[in-house]
Structure 1
Amino acid sequence: MLLNQDGDQIKHRTVQDNIKKYALVTGITGVRPSPHTFRHTFAKMFLMGDGDPYVLRDLLGHNSMSTVVLYLKLFREDLHQKYKGRSPVDWLNGIKVRRPDVQRDLPFDVEMQLGN
Protein backbone atom coordinates (compact mmCIF):
# COMPACT_ATOMS: atom_id res chain seq x y z
CA MET A 1 0.00 0.00 0.00
CA LEU A 2 1.31 3.42 -0.96
CA LEU A 3 0.56 6.45 1.16
CA ASN A 4 0.41 10.11 0.24
CA GLN A 5 2.00 12.93 2.27
CA ASP A 6 -1.09 13.06 4.54
CA GLY A 7 -0.82 9.34 5.33
CA ASP A 8 -3.88 8.39 3.28
CA GLN A 9 -3.81 5.48 0.88
CA ILE A 10 -3.08 6.47 -2.71
CA LYS A 11 -5.73 5.20 -5.10
CA HIS A 12 -4.75 2.88 -7.96
CA ARG A 13 -6.11 5.32 -10.53
CA THR A 14 -3.94 8.12 -9.11
CA VAL A 15 -0.83 5.98 -9.55
CA GLN A 16 -1.85 5.11 -13.13
CA ASP A 17 -2.54 8.76 -13.99
CA ASN A 18 0.75 9.94 -12.48
CA ILE A 19 2.76 7.34 -14.40
CA LYS A 20 1.12 8.45 -17.66
CA LYS A 21 1.75 12.10 -16.81
CA TYR A 22 5.43 11.53 -15.99
CA ALA A 23 5.90 9.46 -19.15
CA LEU A 24 4.52 12.35 -21.22
CA VAL A 25 6.70 14.93 -19.45
CA THR A 26 9.87 12.86 -19.87
CA GLY A 27 9.12 11.93 -23.48
CA ILE A 28 8.87 8.18 -22.95
CA THR A 29 7.26 6.63 -26.03
CA GLY A 30 6.88 3.20 -27.53
CA VAL A 31 5.64 1.53 -24.35
CA ARG A 32 2.40 1.60 -22.42
CA PRO A 33 3.18 3.62 -19.28
CA SER A 34 1.46 1.69 -16.49
CA PRO A 35 2.14 0.01 -13.15
CA HIS A 36 1.98 -3.32 -14.97
CA THR A 37 4.76 -2.20 -17.31
CA PHE A 38 6.83 -1.31 -14.23
CA ARG A 39 6.26 -4.86 -12.89
CA HIS A 40 7.32 -6.42 -16.19
CA THR A 41 10.37 -4.16 -16.42
CA PHE A 42 11.35 -4.96 -12.85
CA ALA A 43 10.94 -8.69 -13.49
CA LYS A 44 13.05 -8.54 -16.64
CA MET A 45 15.82 -6.47 -15.04
CA PHE A 46 15.83 -8.78 -12.02
CA LEU A 47 16.15 -11.91 -14.15
CA MET A 48 18.72 -10.33 -16.50
CA GLY A 49 20.73 -9.31 -13.43
CA ASP A 50 21.02 -12.97 -12.38
CA GLY A 51 18.12 -12.74 -9.94
CA ASP A 52 16.69 -16.02 -8.71
CA PRO A 53 13.25 -16.83 -10.19
CA TYR A 54 12.07 -18.13 -6.80
CA VAL A 55 13.00 -14.85 -5.14
CA LEU A 56 11.22 -12.99 -7.96
CA ARG A 57 8.09 -15.02 -7.22
CA ASP A 58 8.19 -13.83 -3.60
CA LEU A 59 8.98 -10.21 -4.51
CA LEU A 60 6.03 -10.07 -6.92
CA GLY A 61 3.74 -11.73 -4.37
CA HIS A 62 2.88 -14.82 -6.40
CA ASN A 63 1.87 -18.07 -4.72
CA SER A 64 3.20 -20.34 -7.45
CA MET A 65 5.92 -20.32 -10.07
CA SER A 66 3.43 -20.40 -12.97
CA THR A 67 3.43 -16.61 -13.46
CA VAL A 68 7.22 -16.40 -13.14
CA VAL A 69 7.47 -19.10 -15.82
CA LEU A 70 5.44 -16.77 -18.06
CA TYR A 71 8.03 -14.03 -17.45
CA LEU A 72 10.82 -16.47 -18.29
CA LYS A 73 9.06 -17.35 -21.56
CA LEU A 74 8.40 -13.69 -22.32
CA PHE A 75 12.10 -12.81 -21.93
CA ARG A 76 13.39 -16.08 -23.41
CA GLU A 77 15.34 -14.46 -26.27
CA ASP A 78 16.96 -11.86 -24.00
CA LEU A 79 17.96 -14.54 -21.50
CA HIS A 80 19.23 -16.75 -24.32
CA GLN A 81 21.51 -13.94 -25.53
CA LYS A 82 22.69 -13.21 -21.99
CA TYR A 83 23.69 -16.80 -21.27
CA LYS A 84 24.86 -17.71 -24.78
CA GLY A 85 28.22 -19.44 -24.49
CA ARG A 86 28.03 -19.95 -20.72
CA SER A 87 26.53 -23.44 -20.72
CA PRO A 88 28.87 -26.44 -20.38
CA VAL A 89 27.06 -27.81 -23.43
CA ASP A 90 28.32 -24.81 -25.41
CA TRP A 91 31.87 -25.74 -24.47
CA LEU A 92 31.48 -29.14 -26.13
CA ASN A 93 31.98 -27.45 -29.50
CA GLY A 94 35.69 -27.31 -28.65
CA ILE A 95 35.99 -30.99 -27.65
CA LYS A 96 37.01 -33.81 -29.97
CA VAL A 97 36.21 -37.37 -28.87
CA ARG A 98 38.69 -40.04 -30.06
CA ARG A 99 38.23 -43.78 -30.38
CA PRO A 100 39.19 -45.71 -27.26
CA ASP A 101 42.79 -46.79 -27.01
CA VAL A 102 43.33 -50.48 -26.50
CA GLN A 103 45.58 -49.80 -23.50
CA ARG A 104 43.01 -47.58 -21.71
CA ASP A 105 40.34 -48.71 -19.29
CA LEU A 106 38.10 -45.72 -20.03
CA PRO A 107 35.41 -46.06 -22.72
CA PHE A 108 36.74 -43.00 -24.56
CA ASP A 109 39.39 -40.33 -24.41
CA VAL A 110 38.62 -36.62 -24.57
CA GLU A 111 41.05 -34.16 -26.10
CA MET A 112 40.46 -30.42 -25.92
CA GLN A 113 40.75 -28.46 -29.15
CA LEU A 114 42.32 -25.13 -28.27
CA GLY A 115 41.65 -22.54 -30.91
CA ASN A 116 42.58 -18.89 -31.25
Structure 2
Amino acid sequence: MKKWQNESKIHIRNTKTYKERIVPIQSKMKTQLQKYIQIRGVMVTDALFVTLAGEKMSKRQFQNRVTFYGKQAEIKGVRCSCHTFRHTFAKVSVKNGAGIFELQQILGHTSMEMVRVYVNLFSDDVMDKHRTFSPLVNLNVRM
Protein backbone atom coordinates (compact mmCIF):
# COMPACT_ATOMS: atom_id res chain seq x y z
CA MET A 1 0.00 0.00 0.00
CA LYS A 2 1.33 3.40 -0.92
CA LYS A 3 1.87 5.96 1.82
CA TRP A 4 -0.63 8.48 0.40
CA GLN A 5 -3.52 6.01 0.20
CA ASN A 6 -4.30 6.48 3.91
CA GLU A 7 -4.63 10.21 3.39
CA SER A 8 -7.62 12.17 2.19
CA LYS A 9 -8.66 15.44 0.64
CA ILE A 10 -10.79 18.28 1.90
CA HIS A 11 -12.94 20.67 -0.10
CA ILE A 12 -12.16 24.30 0.74
CA ARG A 13 -14.99 26.74 -0.02
CA ASN A 14 -15.71 30.37 0.77
CA THR A 15 -12.11 31.45 0.38
CA LYS A 16 -10.84 35.00 0.31
CA THR A 17 -10.49 34.79 -3.47
CA TYR A 18 -13.81 32.93 -3.88
CA LYS A 19 -12.01 30.05 -5.60
CA GLU A 20 -12.88 26.61 -4.31
CA ARG A 21 -10.16 23.99 -4.20
CA ILE A 22 -9.46 20.46 -3.09
CA VAL A 23 -6.39 20.06 -0.88
CA PRO A 24 -4.79 16.95 0.62
CA ILE A 25 -4.89 16.30 4.35
CA GLN A 26 -2.89 13.70 6.19
CA SER A 27 -4.44 10.87 8.14
CA LYS A 28 -3.58 12.60 11.46
CA MET A 29 -5.61 15.66 10.44
CA LYS A 30 -8.44 13.45 9.20
CA THR A 31 -8.55 11.74 12.61
CA GLN A 32 -8.63 15.09 14.45
CA LEU A 33 -11.42 16.41 12.21
CA GLN A 34 -13.43 13.23 12.79
CA LYS A 35 -13.04 13.67 16.58
CA TYR A 36 -14.13 17.30 16.30
CA ILE A 37 -17.20 16.40 14.24
CA GLN A 38 -18.12 13.65 16.69
CA ILE A 39 -17.92 16.08 19.63
CA ARG A 40 -19.66 18.86 17.68
CA GLY A 41 -22.48 16.58 16.66
CA VAL A 42 -24.76 16.56 13.63
CA MET A 43 -25.62 20.03 12.34
CA VAL A 44 -28.18 21.38 9.87
CA THR A 45 -25.47 23.47 8.18
CA ASP A 46 -22.75 21.91 6.05
CA ALA A 47 -20.18 24.28 7.59
CA LEU A 48 -17.34 22.60 9.45
CA PHE A 49 -17.08 25.23 12.17
CA VAL A 50 -20.24 26.34 13.93
CA THR A 51 -21.26 28.62 16.79
CA LEU A 52 -22.70 27.35 20.06
CA ALA A 53 -26.11 28.01 18.51
CA GLY A 54 -25.27 25.56 15.71
CA GLU A 55 -25.03 28.22 13.02
CA LYS A 56 -22.23 28.63 10.50
CA MET A 57 -19.33 30.46 12.11
CA SER A 58 -18.34 33.62 10.24
CA LYS A 59 -14.76 34.20 9.13
CA ARG A 60 -14.41 36.94 11.75
CA GLN A 61 -15.75 34.66 14.50
CA PHE A 62 -13.27 31.96 13.48
CA GLN A 63 -10.39 34.46 13.47
CA ASN A 64 -11.42 35.64 16.93
CA ARG A 65 -11.47 32.04 18.20
CA VAL A 66 -7.94 31.42 16.90
CA THR A 67 -6.71 34.58 18.67
CA PHE A 68 -8.58 33.65 21.85
CA TYR A 69 -7.16 30.11 21.97
CA GLY A 70 -3.67 31.46 21.27
CA LYS A 71 -4.00 33.61 24.38
CA GLN A 72 -5.41 30.66 26.35
CA ALA A 73 -2.39 28.58 25.29
CA GLU A 74 -0.14 31.46 26.40
CA ILE A 75 1.58 31.64 23.02
CA LYS A 76 4.04 34.52 23.25
CA GLY A 77 6.23 36.34 20.75
CA VAL A 78 4.06 35.71 17.70
CA ARG A 79 0.64 36.90 16.62
CA CYS A 80 -1.70 33.92 16.83
CA SER A 81 -3.86 34.24 13.73
CA CYS A 82 -5.11 32.32 10.72
CA HIS A 83 -2.60 34.18 8.57
CA THR A 84 0.26 33.19 10.89
CA PHE A 85 -0.81 29.54 10.69
CA ARG A 86 -0.90 29.76 6.90
CA HIS A 87 2.48 31.47 6.78
CA THR A 88 3.98 28.89 9.16
CA PHE A 89 2.55 26.05 7.08
CA ALA A 90 4.19 27.52 3.98
CA LYS A 91 7.50 28.07 5.77
CA VAL A 92 7.69 24.57 7.21
CA SER A 93 6.59 23.07 3.89
CA VAL A 94 9.40 24.90 2.06
CA LYS A 95 11.89 23.82 4.73
CA ASN A 96 10.72 20.23 4.30
CA GLY A 97 11.28 20.40 0.56
CA ALA A 98 7.80 21.16 -0.80
CA GLY A 99 7.72 21.91 -4.49
CA ILE A 100 6.53 25.36 -5.46
CA PHE A 101 3.79 24.01 -7.73
CA GLU A 102 2.31 21.82 -4.98
CA LEU A 103 2.53 24.67 -2.50
CA GLN A 104 0.82 27.01 -4.96
CA GLN A 105 -2.08 24.60 -5.38
CA ILE A 106 -2.50 23.87 -1.67
CA LEU A 107 -2.37 27.56 -0.70
CA GLY A 108 -4.65 28.52 -3.58
CA HIS A 109 -2.41 31.17 -5.10
CA THR A 110 -3.33 32.05 -8.68
CA SER A 111 0.20 33.17 -9.52
CA MET A 112 3.63 32.01 -8.49
CA GLU A 113 4.56 35.43 -7.11
CA MET A 114 3.37 34.80 -3.56
CA VAL A 115 4.86 31.32 -3.52
CA ARG A 116 8.17 32.84 -4.62
CA VAL A 117 7.96 35.21 -1.65
CA TYR A 118 7.78 32.22 0.70
CA VAL A 119 10.71 30.54 -1.03
CA ASN A 120 12.78 33.74 -1.02
CA LEU A 121 11.99 34.39 2.65
CA PHE A 122 13.67 31.14 3.51
CA SER A 123 16.51 31.33 1.00
CA ASP A 124 19.08 30.16 3.56
CA ASP A 125 17.01 27.02 3.98
CA VAL A 126 16.80 26.67 0.21
CA MET A 127 20.58 27.02 -0.04
CA ASP A 128 21.03 24.31 2.60
CA LYS A 129 18.61 22.04 0.73
CA HIS A 130 20.45 22.73 -2.52
CA ARG A 131 23.65 21.40 -0.98
CA THR A 132 21.94 18.03 -0.52
CA PHE A 133 20.23 17.65 -3.90
CA SER A 134 22.60 19.40 -6.29
CA PRO A 135 23.80 17.03 -9.03
CA LEU A 136 27.33 18.20 -8.30
CA VAL A 137 27.27 16.63 -4.83
CA ASN A 138 27.90 13.13 -6.19
CA LEU A 139 29.81 14.09 -9.30
CA ASN A 140 33.31 12.63 -9.39
CA VAL A 141 35.54 14.85 -11.45
CA ARG A 142 39.22 14.17 -11.90
CA MET A 143 41.47 17.07 -12.66
TM-score bracket for this pair, using the shorter chain length? 0.5 to 0.7
Shift in Å, 1:50: 2.2
Identify if the C-alpha distance between structure 1 residues 83 and 27 changes in structure 2 by more than 3 Å, giving closer, same or farther.
farther
Answer whether contact 1:85 1:91 (CA < 8 A) is retained. no
Shift in Å, 1:71: 0.8
Partner residue in 2 for 1:59: 106
Distance in 2 (CA, whole Å) between partners of 1:83 and 1:15 is 38
Partner residue in 1 for 2:77: 30
Give the AA of the match of 2:91. K
Partner residue in 2 for 1:4: 50
Distance in 1 (CA, whole Å) between partners of 2:58 and 2:125 is 34
Equivalences, count:
95
Answer whether contact 1:53 1:68 (CA < 8 A) is retained. yes
Give the AA of the match of 1:34. S
Distance in 1 (CA, whole Å) between partners of 2:88 and 2:97 is 14
SS class of match (2:98): coil
Answer whether contact 1:48 1:79 (CA < 8 A) is retained. yes
Larger Rg: 1
Q: Structure 1 unaligned segments of length 5 or more: list them.
A: 98-116
Q: How big is the alpha-carbon RMSD for the aligned residues of Structure 1 and Structure 2?
A: 2.2
Q: Structure 2 unaligned segments of length 5 or more: list them.
A: 1-13, 15-47
Partner residue in 1 for 2:118: 71
TM-score by length of 2: 0.56
Deviation >4 Å, runs of 4+: none
TM-score by length of 1: 0.67
